[in-house]
Amino acid sequence: MWDVEIRGMASAHAIVASSIFMATVMPAVFVENFSVYGTHMVWLHCVAGSVAVVNIAVFWLLGISPQTKKNTLSYKLNRLFRSCLYFLLSCLFFHTVVVLYGAPLLESALETFSLAVLLSTLTTLRCLCILGPNVQAWIRVFSRDGAMSVWDTSLQITTGCSVIGAWLGALPIPLDWDRPWQIWPISCTLGATTGFLTGLLAAPVWIHWHRKQLTYKLK
């Protein structure tokens, strides 16, 4: 059972990771002089959009999303509305946090909000796909010993890696190196994306390595 779940997770993570690769390669066909540095905002939006679409499709096809007792159209629309609202609130939250940590307030507002959208896509969107618009479930998963499945553990790892990656990416910005990747918010978006990819790789490996110690209990 463990091996089947871990293999399924590894396959899903590989598909999501490949979407970032495709978002980095494909725009070069349509955008002249495309590069991660030179046309960074285009790359950022392509990565965020690609990861969002693939995440939603993969979790829907795997049936990871929580089952609902109600199947009425009004209930589904309500869940969709709440999911969109939570995602928007997440974008505003990350935008506020980034500004409080020293990002330009008005000068680069679009770039800052785009970074917030990327962070929300790498973290909050996965919460919505795995747990649904259920704040109590989110709090449970990110509390001590709150994971109830391998997907909950995966969510903890990928979210933590994405946020830490963005934070580490901000460290070189003040340094007087005059490198193109020091322009705001390139290093942060690269750090967040690298952290996310690291989490996608590390989660199945960590869960497989610690599978004998992990005990998931229904709460």
- Calculate the dihedral angle through the C-alpha atoms of 193, 198, 201, 203, rounding to the nearest 10 degrees: -110
pLDDT at residue number 179: 83
User: What amino acid occupies position 194?
Assistant: T
Q: How far is it, in rounded angstroms, from Cα 43 to Cα 46?
A: 5
Q: Write down the pTM of the prediction.
A: 0.91
- In tens, the pLDDT along 45-72 reads 999 999 999 999 999 888 776 666 667 7
Q: How far is it, in rounded angstroms, from Cα 138 to Cα 155?
A: 10
Q: How far is it, in rounded angstroms, from Cα 79 to Cα 216?
A: 27
Question: Residue 69 gets which letter from DSSP?
Answer: S
pLDDT per position in the chain (219 positions), as tens?
A: 567 888 889 999 999 999 999 999 999 888 888 989 889 999 999 999 999 999 999 998 887 766 666 677 788 889 999 999 999 999 999 999 999 988 888 888 999 999 999 999 999 999 999 999 999 999 999 987 778 888 999 999 999 999 999 999 999 888 877 788 888 999 999 999 999 999 999 999 999 888 777 766 544
pLDDT at residue number 218: 44
C-alpha distance from residue 25 to each of 18, 75, 137, 211 (Å): 11, 39, 36, 36
